[in-house]
Amino acid sequence: MPPFIPPLSDPSKTVSSLSSERALVSFPVESLTRFLHGDNLDRLRSIRAEIERIPEVFSNADKPFLSRERSYVRALEKAAKLVEMKKKHKWSEEEMLTAMMQVGDSTPQFLHEALFIPTLKTQLSDEQQKTWLPRAENYEIFGCYAQTELAHGSNLRKLETTATFIPESDEFEIDTPTLNSMKWWPGALAQSSTHCAIYARLILHGKDYGVHPFLLQIRAPGSHAPMPGIELGNLGSKIGFNTIDNGFMRVHKVRIPREEMMMRNSKVTRAGEYVPAKNAKMNYSTMVAIRANIVRNAGYALGQALTIAIRYSMVRVQGGDRLPSQQGQELKIIDHGMQRYRLTTSLALSYAMLMTGQVMHELHRRNLKNVIQGEVGLMAEVHATSTGLKALCSDLCTYYMEDARRSCGGHGYATCGGISDLLNTTLQDVTVEGENTILHLQTSRYLLKTILQALKTKDLSAVPVGLRSALQGGHVFDDERCTIVPGQPITGDALIAAYWHREARVLQEVVTRVLKDGAGEEAFAKSQVQMVELSRTHGEGMLVRNFYEAIAKEEQTAREQGRDIHKGFLPVLRMLCELHGVHRLLEQFGDFTLDGYVSRQQIVWCKERRDQLINLLRYELVGLVDAFDISDNQLNSAIGRYDGRVYESLYEWAKYGMSIMEKGSQGGVLGFDEVLKDVLAEGRRINGAATPKL
């Protein structure tokens, strides 16, 4: 097993270009790192140190050279060691999730820890949890989340798997009655899991009560063979995430005890009576949690890609030697205007998503606590907010990760560059837990129903303040104008108001359209394009507001502690926040100028101000990515390593690949003796060339 990064002659030496860049950063990087990670930073570093003391298990340097099958086995080795460490160090659930994030690789236990166990906690009754939670937490059983079917994904109401109550034996009969109804896509289903949380239509006395969660054993203890009546298989290679065994499952009339229906929310009594949940959406709390986590992880994943791209851009020199100011010397590629523009604006987006991810994480924690206690007050808000933001953030994240990869040129195309593997893994987020277009429509339906109800009752208290003026009618909304002042820094208030106004205008248009068409399902169906636009504008506004609010909150804390808010990382973060708001406005400026809210002169100033901010942030970039505190093993990149030794690392990585490459049948290059030798010999024969002596 190779070390974390193929060894170099002097691993302690950092290239001078990166050292000089770090010396120019205006703020203490450690202080920003602590702001980003909060109170968990020391524990995170402690856990990561424990992991990186065992390179023979946790090194990722061999990942680019492994087959799909070996990648899965290596991931299991890492998972098994994490389980051992969890028990040894008595890690909490949160600490175990932290540990998995520090590995820098996806392991099948993610589905067990992040989906299966939370499902048990939110869906099993207290009595059921006494039986099943210890078994899951101690890895006596290994679980996954079986919801999606071959022919149905996002439309959960139309899932076809059934769970029919058999009163004579007090059992449920689980069945996937058609080819279309087999479970398809669940991670860790094909080979790893012994049990699954399976979602099926509850059938009582011939009546369909909709989709509910059940606990199903799918493999036998000891042999790990599929249980009778269950067919399991692997879906094969995917774009990414190939360390995870996504699979399919057909269930043929398998009986389970009634007590293995998950009964914290809905219940079926021994007499076969149905006791409904307070809120049907409680059955999907795990799915909502995953969507909230995707928002948080989008900023982190984009931050990883930008760490690689920005460090590489500080080391790589190319072009610019014809500029008189360069005196024949090539420029660092970060000093080419377009490179700096694309990476700095993407970095601002990464931070905006991280700030919003923290808000969503806290909202999810509160909601999860409430759900366990049977309270559903936050459920609708969390569902709608996480749904739209999941769609927006995963789209933006993967788009700009690909742009970061392209910014690294040819070395960005190599797997050992680090970004391609990271991107391919993250690409699942645009589809998993709901395809993004469908999720945007769900968020818009929630917004529209809230607004239509408010219009009906004349009670606007449930409507966000920034949207009320659009609904109150009159000339107030129509006469609103943007408060950006050309020649002056653009304030948070001005940007937040602009995003509110844009959302309110789109909302007003969609409401008018829906009301015109009767405000029913047909009306919603006719307005899907506009509804997706509404959800996106809602999410974009949240990214801007949450970024500014996070800074304002930290500034308040700094004042209370007697710190100068004009020193340290806060001024840099405020510039980055302003850049994000201005850049996203310019990327969609037609939306803001359509009704005259933003003037031509203000757009011209926004463009000039964006250029100013990008230049002001030039020497802060390496500090802003170092603050993410991502280790070299997590990045697993020859071109994004902390010491900047790009070219040596690329060479060592290539040599390592050659050293483990399969040899040909005669001990030479694979493919020569098997194929190429005869092709070349035939060419020589045709041309009458002599047989080579060597």
Residues forming the active site? 433
**496 is written with which tokens?**
């937040």
Work out the angle at residue 313's Cα, subtended by the Cα atoms of residues 312 and 318, and round it to the nearest 5 degrees: 115
Three state DSSP letters for 600-644: HHHHHHHHHHHHHHHHHCHHHHHHHHHCCCCCHHHHCCCCCCCCC
C-alpha span between 609 and 489 (Å, rounded): 7
Query: CA–CA separation, 579 vs 178, rounded Å?
Result: 53
- The tokens describing 280, both together, are 């049907």
d(CA 585, CA 587): 5
The residue with tokens 């899907």 is 528
CA distance 228 to 218: 9
Q: Computed from CA positions of residues 388, 389, 390, 392, in that sequence, does the dihedral angle turn out positive or negative?
A: positive
Instruction: Answer for the pair 142, 195: CB distance below 8 angstroms, yes or no.
Output: yes
Are 79 and 108 spatial neighbours (Cβ–Cβ below 8 Å)? yes
CA-to-CA distance for 605 and 485, rounded, in angstroms?
8
Q: Which helix (H) or strand (E) holds 201?
A: strand 195-204
From residue 664, how far is each of 306, 668, 673, 675, 679 by CA, in Å? 39, 5, 6, 10, 16
Rounded CA gap, 40 and 32, in Å?
14
User: Which residues, at least 6 apart from 243, have a Cβ–Cβ distance to it below 8 Å?
Assistant: 71, 72, 74, 75, 105, 106, 107, 108
Phi, psi of 642 (to 5 degrees): -60, -35
d(C-alpha 382, C-alpha 646), whole Å: 43
CA-closest candidate to residue 638, choices 256, 316, 158:
316
Q: Is 148 annotated as a binding residue?
A: yes
Q: Which two tokens stand for residue 356?
A: 């919003």
Instruction: Choose among 54, 62, 39, 143: nearest CA to 102.
Output: 54
One DSSP character per residue, 416-427 reads GGSHHHHHHHHG
Q: What single-letter DSSP state applies at residue 42?
A: H
Residue 661 and residue 266: Cα distance in Å, rounded?
56
176 is in an annotated binding site: no
Greatest distance between any 2 Cα atoms in the chain: 95
Residue type, 652: E
Measured between alpha carbons, how far is 267 from 83 in angstroms, rounded to an integer?
A: 33
Helix (H) or strand (E) holding 281: none
Q: Which two tokens stand for residue 156?
A: 């959960």
Report the chain's C-alpha Rg in angstroms.
28
Q: What is the 3-state secondary structure (H, E, C) of 119-134?
A: HHHHHCCHHHHHHHHH
Are 124 and 255 spatial neighbours (Cβ–Cβ below 8 Å)?
A: no
Measured distance CA(148)–CA(446) in Å, rounded: 23
State how far the Cα of 647 lies from the Cα of 663, in Å rounded to an integer: 26
Round to whole Å and give the CA distance between 230 and 224: 12
What's the rounded Cα separation, in Å, for the pair 539 and 391? 9
User: What are the binding residues for FAD?
Assistant: 148, 187
User: What are the binding residues?
Assistant: 148, 187
